A and B are shown apart, each in its own frame.
Chain A
Amino acid sequence: MDRHPPKPPPRGLILLGIGILGLLAAFLLGLRPGGLIPNAGGLQLARSFFSAALDPALTREGASLAANATPFLEDLVHAALRTLIFAAAAMSLSILAGLPLGILASDTWWRRSSFSNSRMTAAARAMQSAVRIGIALMRSVHELIWAVILLAAVGLNTFGAVLAIAVPYSGTLAKVFSEMLDEAPRHSAKALEGIGVRPLGVFLFGLVPRALPDLVAYTAYRFECAVRSAAVLGFFGYPTLGYHLTLSFGDGHFRETWTTIYLLLALILFLEWWSTAVRRRLVS
């Protein structure tokens, strides 16, 4: 053990560095305060867009409508439901893939004993590193880029949209799960090991249950993120809320756009309230 405590990092300097880098970035990007004032066209668009905010559409705007078209609100609620469906399907796949990957990426799994910090064998370290690299690659590609790759590779297909969300989300869940498993309290594992339970049993019944509240709380939060991602996938032709948002905005039907925005906001705010409520009950 070190007798002298380590020197605290110079936080003021870090703060200054962030400020300087921020200004440098703004300079390199050519960002000027004047650029924040929209030109005449932008101003007019902004005016008509924001004036539509208080008057969201309840029926379709525009005259040229087929007589048998689905009513606007029904269409929109269906899109919201699809957004939820894509998110839920993607999360179910992510949990199925993320939990085993997270276990394989944790230190605890590869150590001989679940609670002591015994060293890993070289082979174990190599396997763990391979899993960790795979996880990092999965989540370093954004879900929209996965969507674009899958569009190019197989074409437009709703399961492709689910996969596009599920791949990076599995990686994120795996990473966070592995950290939570490594930080879970060890008492139960120690007790089980003391009475001669095999390592697998110690892991599954001594450690995983202790980490479970954290895992569930984090998964609930990720579901909220998945709904956002599913909504945005609509920009790539999938029939979620983003699809209606970009279409109505492109047509200048701003009142429809606002209805879509309000519905998405309501969905996300509800899920945020829910995931916070779940977290508060699970994590002290």
Chain B
Amino acid sequence: MIPSRPPQAPGEEHPEEPSRRLLWISGIGASGLVAFAWLSGEINVSGFFGADRARNLKRFLTEDAIPFPLREDGFTWSGLWTWVAGHWNAAAGEATLTTLWIAVASMALAGAGALLVAPWVARTISTREPFLQNGPTGALWIWASRLARLICILARALPEYILAFLWVAILPGSAWPAVLALAMHNGGILGRLFGETLENLERRPLQALRTLGGSRGQITALAAVPVALPRFLLYFFYRFETCVREATVLGMLGIVSLGYQIQDARSRHAYDDMLLLVGFGVLLVLLADLTSHGVRIWLRREAPR
């Protein structure tokens, strides 16, 4: 039941009934779903805290997770270091770097794809009289814009992991599946963000160029995109963080990167190795976070908000 509200709450003189209704329904629906989730019996909380699970956890923390060379000889810094360095040199180092390169390659691809799609998404460009009209006109243009939006939505709707899973089956044996999956998902997100940025640009300078006889392509490539570039780069580096994090797990599908080594250590029940590899992943993600945070602060110095 929707609770009744006082007849004249402050700030509600505007007719916004329908919009408020969605928020009420959402709030009630979300609370209902959460309550249902915990009461449905699908989530076995008591089992998680049961005695045998506790025993597993204790063994994991006191034995399995302790680095192998330190289990018997006791803890020494040099022993720990030899263990870490040995793993880095054996396979973990290469896997970590491969993960980074997968993220870099897929973001470059995603960025390029998004740059190509964005003008079609922007309704101020994808219209019969670009930059001059308020609403989109020309049936063909309207459909082109809708199609571009649909492509962006579909590209990013499925999780990267599922996309990569399907690509691995079709293109086994290289890093392409991971790169394609990450590029599709991020390209879809960036394509729409880039397109909306182009659409929201200050229109008058572009209109001036149009009345001076600039073509659609010229104005887009030489005026609109350069003006929007700071925003584009902000979005790009915001997605780069997430992409590196996502790249750490795609190896679980058989692409030799961090995820692959983590899965491998787990299947050997070498949980100490597994946690070390997770640690390398954490370092990689934190470094990527820091880098893109730094670049974004640097970009913001001039980027219009």
Contact = CB atoms under 8 A, between A and B. Distances in A.
Partners in one complex: yes
Interface of A: 5-6, 8-9, 11, 14-15, 18-19, 21-26, 28-31, 35-36, 38, 42, 45-46, 49, 82, 84-86, 88-89, 91-92, 136-137, 139-142, 144-145, 148-149, 151-155, 157-160, 162-163, 220, 223, 228-229, 231-232, 235, 242, 245-246, 249, 261, 264-265, 268-269, 272, 274, 277-278, 281-282
Given A18-B236, A249-B165, 14 more contacts: A9-B299, A11-B299, A14-B295, A29-B98, A35-B176, A36-B176, A86-B43, A145-B248, A148-B274, A152-B60, A154-B60, A158-B42, A159-B48, A269-B153
A265 B159 CA distance: 10
A42 B171 contact: yes
A55 to B, nearest CB: 17
A106 B249 CA distance: 30
Contact of A31 (B105, B246, B266, B301): B105
B23 A142 contact: no
Interface string B167-179: 0011110111001
B125 interface: no
Given A92-B37, A153-B61, A281-B23, A29 B179 contact: yes
19 contacts: A5-B302, A9-B298, A9-B301, A14-B295, A21-B104, A31-B174, A36-B171, A42-B170, A45-B170, A92-B38, A136-B286, A140-B245, A141-B278, A144-B259, A149-B275, A220-B26, A231-B162, A264-B162, A265-B157
A278 B158 contact: no
B121 interface: no
A102 to B, nearest CB: 17
A24 B107 CA distance: 13
Contacts of A261: 158, 162
A42 B172 contact: yes
Interface in B21-47: 22-23, 26, 30, 33-34, 36-38, 40, 42-45, 47
Interface of B: 19-20, 22-23, 26, 30, 33-34, 36-38, 40, 42-45, 47-48, 53, 56-57, 60-61, 64, 97-98, 101-102, 104-105, 107-109, 111-112, 153-154, 157-159, 161-162, 165-166, 169-172, 174-176, 179, 229-230, 233, 236, 245-246, 248-249, 252, 259, 262-263, 266, 271, 274-275, 278, 281-282, 285-286, 289, 295, 298-299, 301-302
A155 B174 CA distance: 32
B57 A154 contact: yes
A281 to B, nearest CB: 4
B195 to A, nearest CB: 15
Nearest to A143: B249
Contact of B60 (A6, A8, A153, A242): A153
Given A30-B174, A159-B47, A278-B26, A148 B162 contact: no
A30 B275 CA distance: 28
Contacts of A25: 101-102, 104-105, 108
B265 to A, nearest CB: 9
* Interface SS of B by simple majority: helix
B302 A6 contact: yes
Contacts of A23: 108
A142 B248 CA distance: 8
B263 A148 contact: yes
Given A19-B108, A25-B105, A152-B274, A140 B34 contact: no
Contacts of B19: 281
A30 B179 CA distance: 12
A268 B157 contact: yes
Nearest to A260: B162
A235 B252 CA distance: 10
Given A22-B109, A229-B159, A145 B286 contact: no
A95 to B, nearest CB: 9
Nearest to A147: B249
A249 B282 contact: no
Nearest to B159: A228
A85 B249 contact: no
A85 B42 contact: yes
Contacts of A5: 302
A23 B179 CA distance: 13
B175 A30 contact: yes
Contacts of A31: 105, 174-176, 179
Given A25-B108, A35-B171, A144 B233 contact: no
Nearest to A136: B286
Contacts of A154: 48, 53, 56-57, 60
Contact of B165 (A45, A235, A272): A235
Given A149-B275, A281-B22, A157 B161 contact: no
A140 B281 CA distance: 8
